[in-house]
Amino acid sequence: MGELVYHIPAMLTPTIEGLRIHPDGVYVDVTLGGGGHSKAIYSHLSSNGRLFSFDQDWDAYANQLAIAADGNSLSLANQGNWQFVHGNFRHLKNFLRYYKVDGIDGLLADLGVSFHHFDEAERGFSFRYSSPLDMRMNQRGGKTAADIVNNYSEEELARVLYLYGELKNSRRIAHNIVHTRSTYPLTRTEDLVAIMTGQRPSKPLLEGDEIVVDSRIKKDLARMFQALRIEVNDEMGALETMLNAALQMLKPQGRIVILTYHSLEDRIVKNFLRSGNCEGKIEKDFYGNILTPFRVIEKGRIADEEEVAVNPRARSAKLRVAERI
Ligand SMILES: C[S@@+](CC[C@H](N)C(=O)[O-])C[C@H]1O[C@@H](n2cnc3c(N)ncnc32)[C@H](O)[C@@H]1O
């Protein structure tokens, strides 16, 4: 795991500013990943402060352990007031209750997957390498991308591809998937690439082999893989549940900071921070005053060009910040 960069945190400075960290406070980073954001949060805490970092992927914790084993005393794994939580952030409230935390001063969610997921060929997140169609962030269970492409109806597949991948030709792709799987099961990343190109590799690929893809279809392939990944991990369902839990756990003046990477998740977060519900239904009191649990601080800030030049993933990031009233 050591040599590759696990992840480069997006919009680090505005994220930390958005949290407005109190050194003695209790903070939650629900998406540890490579730990860049968690480390920065931790560096603002006193020995009385606490940081809980969630990740449903054990690799994120293993990475911190590896950094500590390399003799780096600054690894989060060496810090007494840091707690890793191996679980889905949809269970935020239960986990915090388990740790006897009844209120938090700030929460960060940097949504989606990390570079690590794309770099680890065998996880199946990338169309660049031959691998089984997995795409689960939590490898302990749940359905895989292969389960979805082989079992969903054509209608369901079209919905997933359209909603989560914003693919305009989602119906045609869904039709191709259903047609192809009647001949052979779709089990590998190259099978999905073949759906988009209409061509199978000239010879069987070995695990981790590079898949040669015409640059003109890379964008659509990226959208297809993104759509399946979101469905595999029920990313929208987890986000909605976590936001509702965060609302209940945040103390007055506590900050919530969310980094989103595509329009659907961004709409959910935008609605939630504006209204306190994912649908964005604005409630008013008897006098017509808007009732909202948050004061919005940052309304979808984007990364500057300098950052995008070194970290292209930051191009699609949107930062939203709100304060619990
Ligand atoms: C974009 S990365 C976070 C990167 C991190 N901010 C950093 O500085 O390196 C998102 C991480 O959140 C994890 N993740 C995504 N959805 C999750 C969920 N529902 N519950 C727990 N972890 C989740 C992924 O496994 C991944 O490691």
Q: Which one, of 312, 320, 219, 224, lies nearest residue 265 by Cα? A: 320
Task: Give, using CA atoms, the residue closest to atom 27 of ligand 1.
Answer: 33
Task: Give, using CA atoms, the residue closest to atom 8 of ligand 1.
Answer: 36
Domain with CATH 3.40.50.150 in the chain: 12-115+254-324
Strands 82-86 and 294-302: unpaired
Domain with CATH 1.10.150.170 in the chain: 139-232
Higher pLDDT among residues 144 and 1, named by residue: 144
Task: Give, using CA atoms, the residue closest to atom 9 of ligand 1.
Answer: 34
Atom nearest to 242 CA in ligand 1: 19
pLDDT, mean of residues 278-304: 96
pLDDT, mean of residues 285-306: 96
Quickly count: other Cβ atoms within 10 Å of residue 189's Cβ: 26
Mutation choice for ligand 1 from 5, 111, 114, CB with most ligand atoms inside 8 A:
114
- What's the 8 CA to ligand 1 centre distance in angstroms? 12
Q: Are 226 and 160 in contact (CB under 8 A)?
A: no
3-state helix, strand, coil in the chain (%, to 5): 45, 20, 40
Residues with CB under 6 A from ligand 1: 7, 9, 31, 33-37, 54-57, 60, 88-90, 110, 112-114, 137, 238
Q: Where residue 286 falls among pLDDT bands split at 50, 70, 90? A: very high
- Output the furthest CA–CA distance in the chain (Å, rounded): 71
pLDDT digits (tens, 9 = 90+) for 66-88: 999 998 888 899 999 999 999 99
- What's the 229 CA to ligand 1 centre distance in angstroms? 13
Instruction: Say how many residues make up the chain.
Output: 325
Distances (CA, A) of 271 to 18, 259, 267: 18, 14, 6
Element (H, E) at 324: strand 318-324
Q: Where residue 198 falls among pLDDT bands split at 50, 70, 90? A: confident
pLDDT, mean of residues 22-27: 98
- What's the 183 CA to ligand 1 centre distance in angstroms? 36
pLDDT at position 203 = 86
Out of 1.10.150.170, 1.10.287.70, 3.40.640.10, 1.10.760.10, which CATH number does the structure's domain 139-232 have?
1.10.150.170
Region of residue 100 (phi > 0: left; psi between -120 and 50: alpha; otherwise: beta): left
The pLDDT of residue 10 is above 70: yes
Atom nearest to 29 CA in ligand 1: 6
- What's the 159 CA to ligand 1 centre distance in angstroms? 25
pLDDT, mean of residues 18-32: 98
Percent of the chain with pLDDT over 70: 99
The pLDDT of residue 1 is above 80: no
- What's the 203 CA to ligand 1 centre distance in angstroms? 36
pLDDT at position 101 = 98
Give the mean pLDDT of the chain: 95
pLDDT, mean of residues 56-62: 97
- What's the 167 CA to ligand 1 centre distance in angstroms? 24
Beta strands in the chain (DSSP E): 26-29, 50-55, 82-86, 104-110, 250-260, 283-284, 290-291, 294-302, 318-324
Q: Where residue 3 falls among pLDDT bands split at 50, 70, 90? A: low
CATH code reported for the domain at 12-115+254-324: 3.40.50.150
pLDDT digits (tens, 9 = 90+) for 298-322: 999 999 999 999 999 999 999 999 9
Amino acid letter, residue 113 = V
Prediction pTM value = 0.96
pLDDT, mean of residues 186-211: 92
Q: Using CA atoms, how far apart are residues 13 and 5, in angstroms rounded to an integer?
A: 19
The pLDDT of residue 2 is above 80: no
